[in-house]
Structure 1
Amino acid sequence: MTLDYPTILFFFVLTNIFNIALFIYQYFFHHKKWYLSVFIMGILFQTIAMILIGNRNSLPFLLTVQISNFFLISSFALTTFGLISFDGKIRKNLLWLFVVFTLLFYFSFLLVAENDIIRIIIQTIACSFFYGIGAFYLFINKEKYKFSIIISIALFIYSIFQLYRISILYHVEQPYDFLKGSAIDNWYLIISLFIVSTLRIGFIMLLKEIDQKTIFLINAKIEQNKLKLEELNKTKDKLFSIIAHDLRSPFNGILGFSELLIKNSKDFEVAESERYLGIINSSAKNTLILLDNLLHWVKTQTGQIICKPEKINLTSVIKEVLEISRSIAIIKSITLNYIQSDAIEVYADANMLKIVLRNIISNAIKFTNPYGKIEVSAIQNQNDIEITVSDNGVGMNEETLNKLFKIDSTIITIGTAAEKGSGLGLILCKEFVEKQRGKIWVESKLGKGSDFKFTLPLN
């Protein structure tokens, strides 16, 4: 059986009706998105146009030519806009372009409505124009979705074929009746049927690919939330551990020594009383630092602390922190030195920087033997400032170094004067340094001391 033009047109209409049903199913049960409804409307307009054109001999000129071609040209615009909107973005500039050119093509069509060849050439140019834009926009998304490449290639080939058809139609002599089904018109419908089917199947596969990526992103988000929840649980456990042990123990010591002084104040020598008072004072200060760290750390976990960097004088901040820390160092007869350099300005949050320095220096005092030495220095690099706190204390082995700055690592440390450490201060230091776009690390050898280093940006 030879396929003539009306038969091919009939199969085209049947295919479109099937596709409309398929995409309506997709819309209601899988993708209730606005761009899918635009695409369905485009197929519906094309189907109406073909039914009207196919009944040209029995229907009036107004329906079969003027109205049918309005539906046909609009279908090119609607289908293409639905395709290029697969990511859900409303491209307003392109929408206006489509509306304007749809009207331009249609009014041009009305001007030459009596000329069959020019009329079909305008239809074909409209199709090539809209599908060409669709091919371009889908191609530039090729890195995101592989099916956008397949659709863009199909649209591009079809646009080129349309231009080839125009060149043939341009040389056809009058009179011309496309319903008689010339070879080029029959091939046009067959290729159109194949390309349109490819586009619609490709669009469904593209939507499926979007679903898969969405599911992947949702799973990734769930996994990320799971990790955050685990981190919060570790934070909670660490918090309770510090409250139950590290924060409670110093108060027991303070209460014990203060009660001892109260009961035996007349029996103790002045030197012995001063020694006990010094221990109470040191323990109270260390506990206050721990409490401050605890409060700051809780605030960072709940997002209450915001980094507000500004240009500050580094020397003045270091001197201020050293002056505060000196009273604790005096109890262990530890020397605090600042190797002063030229005036350096650093871009940092002043409060965060003070907390970082105070914690690192306090940590150094804790693990430095009596009559030891702690030095603070700063070196200006090309893009940042490197600050170092060095001590000649007990140092650390590799195992302890690997546990630093980690919330899930259990570090129970005892200072040279039996001071207890929880590791919370260093965790806080890491968070505050990183909030200021810096980095922190430690260089240490067991029995030879430690160098705590961190950087802060110049600008």
Structure 2
Amino acid sequence: MPHPKYKRRLLFESLFENAGVGLALVAKEGIPFRVNAKLCALLGYSEQELVETSFEKYTHPEDIEKDLDLFKSLLLGEIEVYEIEKRYIKKNGQVFWGLLTVSMAPPKEGAVTLIGMVQDIDARKCAEAELLKSEKLLLEHNAYKDKLFSLIAHDLRGSIGSNASLLSFIENNHASLSKEEIVKYISLLNANGSQTLEMLDNLLAWSQSQFKEKRFEPAILSLSQAIIKVSEQLQQQAKLKNNSIQVLISANLEVCADEQMLHVILRNLLSNAIKFSYSGKTITVTAIQDSSFVYVTVTDKGVGISERNIAKLLNNNREGFTSYGTKGEKGTGLGLNLCLQYIEQHGGDLQINSEVGKGSRFTFSIPAAEQE
């Protein structure tokens, strides 16, 4: 009958070799003298390669110091066991996260032995990193949303309040106002009303996109007809600044786009071009096509944008950057944010080229209609 110690030894051998985690028996110098198959598989080294090799070789450089400090504390008897999440470097150079647990093994013939256990926690750490990334994006999104709503509420209140005051003034003084003065005030009312309507349209489109109420429904569309339709809607806004919109696009050019989204993109880019153009200037719309995309460019002769502010705008304007038009028109940045979102949904991108004091070119790409 096998001796109890021998049976325990056999049981230990079986558990050690067949464990579902990496195991190592380590000398006080930090060098393993025995490892199991699981640890070899985790690190990609053979048993012979791991034995007599310090753990520093396969530990990420940034994690060595904290591991050594705990190892020393364990040897000094200051702690009985330690657990640490650390990065390991496989033989092929791949890095993964492991949970290391180290404790003292029963002494044998006076030799100090430690037992280390390594669990692969890479999937959990990756999931945690993704969660943190999502939480950060959510916080940024909510901060942007709060700032945006604050701006919109302020601007809507200002626009509506201004119109209310102006209407009250006209009502109380219409008998003494000349025809020219009344026309001037009506023009101001119209400009304020157009600006308010634009803000509400963008807010509605943005809310639909956030709550997934807007379905993406691409169809074959005439690009020139879409631009002409939008430019006609903006004629009054352009007229107030003595601007004109020139569409230089072939009538045969077609795109594959969601009609409502395309109109939102065009309306915002053209409206911004009017807003930031100097009085009496012409805004031009051109387009070129390659095998897959149509590139639409809206060019204005206006105040321009600095490179720093272009970077802010192309980063979904998370900093809430706003600026004023040449007649004091203020924007919330929501319109361009919508443009970026809708262009991205079409698989395109937006490029901005500008020179402060001279004007800007906004170029967006959108899928071309497939040629038969």
Tell me which interval the TM-score lies in, with the shorter structure as reference length: 0.5 to 0.7
Q: 1:209 to 1:317 in 2, by over 3 A?
A: farther
Q: What displacement does 1:311 show?
A: 2.2
Give SS of 2:278's match: coil
Q: Which residue of 1 aligns with 2:198?
A: 289
Match for residue 230 of structure 2 among 321, 331, 344: 321
Q: Distance in 2 between matches of 1:21 and 1:340?
A: 76
- Is 2:225–2:251's contact at 8 Å kept on the other side of the alignment? no
Q: Which residue of 2 aligns with 1:387?
A: 296
1:430 aligns with 2:340: yes
Q: 1:362 to 1:23 in 2, by over 3 A?
A: farther
Match for residue 338 of structure 1 among 231, 247, 258: 247
Q: Which residue of 2 aligns with 1:414?
A: 324
Q: Distance in 1 between matches of 2:287 and 2:194?
A: 27
Partner deviation per Cα, 1:352-388 (whole Å, 9 max, x = no partner): 1100000010111111122221111111123211001
AA of the residue aligned to 1:444: S
Match for residue 139 of structure 2 among 204, 208, 230: 230
Q: What displacement does 1:394 show?
A: 1.8
Q: Which residue of 2 aligns with 1:445?
A: 355
Partner deviation per Cα, 1:128-150 (whole Å, 9 max, x = no partner): xxxxxxxxxxxxxxxxx855786
Partner deviation per Cα, 1:13-48 (whole Å, 9 max, x = no partner): 977754666699x78xx9xxxxxxxxxxxxxxxxxx
Q: What displacement does 1:448 show?
A: 1.1
Q: Which residue of 1 aligns with 2:127?
A: 218
Percentage identity across paired residues of the two chains: 32
Q: Which residue of 2 aligns with 1:253?
A: 162
1:272 aligns with 2:181: yes
AA of the residue aligned to 1:324: Q
AA of the residue aligned to 2:366: L
Q: What displacement does 1:397 show?
A: 2.5
Give SS of 2:291's match: coil
1:455 aligns with 2:370: no
Q: 1:148 to 1:270 in 2, by over 3 A?
A: same
- Is 2:144–2:320's contact at 8 Å kept on the other side of the alignment? no
- Is 2:299–2:361's contact at 8 Å kept on the other side of the alignment? yes
Q: Which residue of 2 aligns with 1:243?
A: 152
- Is 1:313–1:343's contact at 8 Å kept on the other side of the alignment? yes
Give SS of 2:296's match: strand
- Is 1:234–1:407's contact at 8 Å kept on the other side of the alignment? no
List alignment gaps of at least 5 residues for structure 2: 22-36, 48-97, 100-116
Q: Which residue of 2 aligns with 1:128?
A: none
Q: 1:381 to 1:16 in 2, by over 3 A?
A: farther
Q: Which residue of 2 aligns with 1:353?
A: 262
Partner deviation per Cα, 1:318-340 (whole Å, 9 max, x = no partner): 11111111121122221111002
Q: Which residue of 1 aligns with 2:172?
A: 263
Q: 1:343 to 1:454 in 2, by over 3 A?
A: same
Give SS of 1:447's match: coil
- Is 1:238–1:407's contact at 8 Å kept on the other side of the alignment? no
Match for residue 284 of structure 2 among 363, 375, 383: 375
Q: Distance in 1 between matches of 2:42 and 2:146?
A: 46
Alignment of 1:102-251 (within 5 A): 211-251=120-160
Give SS of 1:296's match: helix
Query: RMSD in angstroms over aligned alpha carbons?
Result: 3.4
Q: 1:259 to 1:20 in 2, by over 3 A?
A: farther
Alignment of 1:16-27 (within 5 A): 17-18=11-12
List alignment gaps of at least 5 residues for structure 1: 1-6, 31-82, 87-144, 152-204
Q: 1:276 to 1:380 in 2, by over 3 A?
A: same
Q: 1:19 to 1:264 in 2, by over 3 A?
A: farther
Q: Distance in 1 between matches of 2:242 and 2:257?
A: 32
Q: What displacement does 1:304 show?
A: 3.0
TM-score by length of 2: 0.68
Q: Distance in 1 between matches of 2:46 and 2:209?
A: 49
Asked which structure has the greater CA Rg, the reply is: 1
Q: Which residue of 1 aligns with 2:95?
A: none
Q: Distance in 2 between matches of 1:210 and 1:448?
A: 62
- Is 2:148–2:332's contact at 8 Å kept on the other side of the alignment? no
AA of the residue aligned to 2:329: E
Q: Relative to structure 2, which stretch is displaced further, 231-240 or 346-355?
A: 231-240
Q: 1:350 to 1:209 in 2, by over 3 A?
A: farther
Q: Which residue of 2 aligns with 1:301?
A: 210
- Is 2:247–2:286's contact at 8 Å kept on the other side of the alignment? yes
Q: Distance in 2 between matches of 1:300 and 1:317?
A: 21
Q: 1:16 to 1:253 in 2, by over 3 A?
A: farther
Q: Distance in 1 between matches of 2:234 and 2:17?
A: 73
